[in-house]
Structure 1
C-alpha cells in the first residue's frame, strides 16, 4: 500500500486524466504558427491589444507604465516609506494613527489660540473631514476586485484547461511559500513593487520576453507530451481494461 502523499497524487492524476479528453490533451499546447513567437505568446495570454489597454487604460495604467514619472515615482516612494516605517522601524499602525491625530489636534489648538492675535475667529480654523463617499467607493472597489479574483479562480477550476489550471495552481503555491517567509505587509509591498515595475519592463522589452516565454512554453509542452504518453495514456488504458473486465 502506498503512502498518503502517493495516494493523493494518484487521485489527482486520475481526476485530470478523466476530465481531459484525449484529443484535447494532444492539442493542448499545439502551436498554430511555430515561426511567430510574439503572436503565439499574445494568444496564450489572451492578449491582442497593447499593455496599456490590458491594464485598463486611463490614469491607473499611466501610473503603472510610468507615463508620468513624477506621479509614479511618488506613489512608489510613498509605498516604500510606509513599508520602512512598519517593517524596519517597527512602528505600528495604531501608534502612527494616534500620533497623527495628536499632531492635527495640536495644530488646530495652536491655530485657534493664536487666532486672537491676528483678529481671526476660531471658525476659520481648518477642520479635517473625510468624505463618506470615499469609504463607500473603497468598499465597492475592494468587494468588486475580490469577487473578480474568486470568479477567475473558479472559472479556471471549471474550464478543464490543464495548462491554465497548472499555471494558476503553481502561482498560488509559490505565493503560499513566499507568504511563509515574510509577513503580510512585506508580501503586499513586494506585490505593489512588482505591479509598478514589471508592466513597464515588459512593455520596454516585450519582444525579448515573448521569445523567452515561448521557449519555456515549448519545453513545458514537450514535458507535458511525455507525461501524457507515459502516465495519462496508461491510466486511461487501465481504466478502460478495468471497465471491460467488469
Structure 2
C-alpha cells in the first residue's frame, strides 16, 4: 500500500517590499508589466539592428497612431449603436498632467552635472598617472575593451546590457549567499595580487616612503 500524503495548504510566498517603479521592473515584481517593458525595449533595439533610427521611430509611431485611431473609431461606433454618452475614450489620459515638474528637472540636472564632473576628474587622475597602480588597472581595462569592441558593436553591447539588467539582479537576489561567497574569494585574490604588484613597483615604494 502506498504512503498516505498529508493534506495541507501551501504557505503563500512572502510578499517582497517595493523599491520604486524602476527597481520593481528590474526585479520582476509584476511579471506582466516587466514583460511588456522588456519585450518592447528588445523589439526596438532589435529593429535598430536592421533599420535606421528614423525608420524605427516612424514605424513605431505609425503603429501607435493606427492603434489609437482604430480604437477611437471603434468606441465612436459602439457609442452610436448603444446610444451612450461615454465621451472621448482617451479623456482620462488627455486630462492627465504630463508636464515635467521644474524642481525634479533641476534636481536631475544637478545630479547629471555632478556625475560628469566626477567622471572628468577621475579620468584626469587616471590619464595623468596620479596613482600608477590605478592607471595600470585602467590601461588593462582599455586593452580588454579593444577586444570587446572587435567582437561586438555598440548596439549589440546595449542589447546585452538590457538583457543583463533584467536578468542578473533577479539571479543575484535568488542566489545572493553563494554569489557573495565567490565574489569575496575573487576579491581577496585580486587584492593579494595587486598588493604584490604594488610592492614590487619602485615608484609605488617611493610614494609610500614620502
Q: TM-score range by the shorter chain?
A: 0.5 to 0.7
Match of 1:217 in 2: 191
The answer to whether the Cα contact below 8 Å between 2:79 and 2:85 also exists between their aligned partners in 1 is: yes
The correspondence for 1:132, drawn from 81, 95, 98, is 98
Residue aligning to 1:100: 64
User: How many pairs are equivalent?
Assistant: 175
Q: Counterpart of 1:133 in 2: which secondary structure?
A: coil
8 Å CA contact 1:202–1:209 kept in 2: the answer is no
Structure 2 matches for 1:1-246, cutoff 5 A? 58-59=19-20, 60-64=22-26, 66=27, 68=29, 70=31, 75-87=37-49, 92-121=56-85, 123-127=87-91, 128-129=93-94, 131-134=97-100, 143-144=109-110, 146-156=112-122, 157=124, 160=130, 178=148, 181-183=152-154, 185-202=155-172, 204=176, 205-226=179-200, 228-229=201-202, 232=203
The answer to whether the 8 Å contact 1:179/1:187 transfers is: no
The higher-RCO structure (CA 8 Å, 6+ apart) is: 1
Give the Cα separation in 2 of the matches to 1:161 and 1:214. 21
Structure 2 distance, partners of 1:94, 1:138, is 30
Distance 2:183 2:120 in 1: 29
Cα distance in 2 for partners of 1:137, 1:102 equals 36
RMSD: 4.2
Contact 1:112/1:122 (<8 A) preserved: no
Distance change >3 Å, CA 173–CA 107, structure 1 → 2: farther
Distance 1:197 1:177, change over 3 A: same
Deviations 1:159-183 (A, max 9, x none): 9555556656765776677567324
Consecutive unaligned residues of structure 2, counting only runs of 5 or more, are 1-17
